[in-house]
Structure 1
Amino acid sequence: MKKLIALVSGVASACALNTAYAQSSVTLYGIVDNGLEYQNAGAGAVVRGVSGGLFASRYGLKGSEDIGGGLQINFQLEQGFSGMTGAASNAAEAFNRQAWVGVSGGFGEARIGLQNTPQYIFMNPELDPVAVMSIGSPMNNFNSLTVRVNNAISYFTPTVYGLSAQFMVAMRDTTTKPTNGLQFYNAAVRYVNGPFRAAAGYEQAANVAGTSILKIFNAGGSVGVGAARFFLAYHTERQTDDSVKRDVYEVSGSYSFSSADQLSLMYGYAHDQTGKGNNAQQVGLTYSYSLSKLTTLYSSAGFIQNRNRAQFTLNGTGYTGIAVAPGADTRGVVIGMLHRF
Structure 2
Amino acid sequence: MTTKITLTSGIIGLMSVAAYSVNADAKPLEFYGKVDVSVQSSEEGEGRFTEMKSNASKFGVKGDYALEDGLIIVYKLEWQVDVSDDSNEKNLKSRNQYIGLKGNFGEVRLGRHDTALKMSQGKADFFSDYEADVKTLWKGENRVNDSISYFSPIYAGFGMQLTYVVADAADADDALSAAIFYGDEGLKQSNIYAALAYDSEVNGYDTLRASAQFKLAEFTLSTMYQRQEDITTQLDRDGYLVGVAYPWQKLTLKTQYQVMDDDNGASVGVDYKLGKNSQIYAWYSSFNFDLAEDTDYLAVGLTHKF
When normalised by structure 1's length, the TM-score is 0.75
Counterpart Cα distance in 2 of 1:63 and 1:228: 35
Does residue 185 of structure 1 match 2:180?
no
The alpha-carbon distance between structure 1 residues 88 and 105, as it changes in their structure 2 partners (threshold 3 A), is farther
Counterpart Cα distance in 2 of 1:37 and 1:105: 46
SS in 2 for 1:172: coil
Give 1:297 shift. 1.3
Give 1:25 shift. 2.5
Does residue 232 of structure 1 match 2:228?
no
Deviation track 1:254-284 (CA, whole Å, cap 9, x = no partner) reads 11113x442211112221xxxxxxx122211
Structure 1, unaligned runs of 5 or more: 1-17, 208-212, 272-278, 312-327
When Rg is computed on C-alpha atoms for both structures, the one with the higher figure is 1
Does residue 140 of structure 1 match 2:140?
no
The 10-residue stretch of structure 1 (293-302 or 159-168) with the greater mean CA deviation from structure 2: 293-302
Length, aligned pairs only:
282
State the match for 1:61 in structure 2: 61
State the match for 1:106 in structure 2: 104
Greater relative CO, 1 or 2 (CA 8 Å, sep 6+): 1
Aligned residue identity for 1:304: F
Structure 2, unaligned runs of 5 or more: 1-20, 185-189
Counterpart Cα distance in 1 of 2:205 and 2:94: 23
The alpha-carbon distance between structure 1 residues 335 and 64, as it changes in their structure 2 partners (threshold 3 A), is same
State the match for 1:45 in structure 2: 48
Residues 128 and 253 in structure 1, CA contact (< 8 A), matched pair in contact too = no
SS in 2 for 1:97: strand
The alpha-carbon distance between structure 1 residues 247 and 60, as it changes in their structure 2 partners (threshold 3 A), is same
State the match for 1:197 in structure 2: 193
The alpha-carbon distance between structure 1 residues 99 and 231, as it changes in their structure 2 partners (threshold 3 A), is closer
The alpha-carbon distance between structure 1 residues 197 and 283, as it changes in their structure 2 partners (threshold 3 A), is same
1:76-95 residue pairs with structure 2 within 5 A? 76-85=76-85, 87=87, 90=90
Aligned residue identity for 1:197: Y
State the match for 2:6 in structure 1: none
Which of 227, 238, 258 aligns to 1:268? It is 258
Aligned residue identity for 1:256: P
The alpha-carbon distance between structure 1 residues 245 and 23, as it changes in their structure 2 partners (threshold 3 A), is same
Deviation track 1:1-52 (CA, whole Å, cap 9, x = no partner) reads xxxxxxxxxxxxxxxxx99525333222211111111111332102101111
The alpha-carbon distance between structure 1 residues 335 and 227, as it changes in their structure 2 partners (threshold 3 A), is same
Does residue 215 of structure 1 match 2:180?
no
Which of 113, 118, 122 aligns to 1:115? It is 113
Residues 59 and 80 in structure 1, CA contact (< 8 A), matched pair in contact too = yes
Counterpart Cα distance in 2 of 1:37 and 1:164: 39
Counterpart Cα distance in 1 of 2:63 and 2:99: 10
Aligned residue identity for 1:80: Q
Give 1:65 shift. 0.5
Aligned residue identity for 2:303: L
Report the identity percentage. 22
The alpha-carbon distance between structure 1 residues 63 and 19, as it changes in their structure 2 partners (threshold 3 A), is closer
Counterpart Cα distance in 1 of 2:213 and 2:287: 24
Which of 141, 144, 149 aligns to 2:144? It is 149
Residues 193 and 212 in structure 2, CA contact (< 8 A), matched pair in contact too = yes
The alpha-carbon distance between structure 1 residues 20 and 84, as it changes in their structure 2 partners (threshold 3 A), is closer
Counterpart Cα distance in 2 of 1:19 and 1:335: 41
Give 1:147 shift. 2.6
Give 1:57 shift. 1.1
RMSD: 2.5
State the match for 2:296 in structure 1: 331
Give 1:88 shift. 6.6
State the match for 2:274 in structure 1: 291
SS in 1 for 2:193: strand
Residues 72 and 101 in structure 2, CA contact (< 8 A), matched pair in contact too = yes
SS in 2 for 1:96: strand
When normalised by structure 2's length, the TM-score is 0.83
Deviation track 1:91-114 (CA, whole Å, cap 9, x = no partner) reads 6xx761122100112221110011
Aligned residue identity for 2:130: S
SS in 2 for 1:125: coil
Deviation track 1:181-237 (CA, whole Å, cap 9, x = no partner) reads 52x211111112831221110012355xxxxx3111100222211210112210111
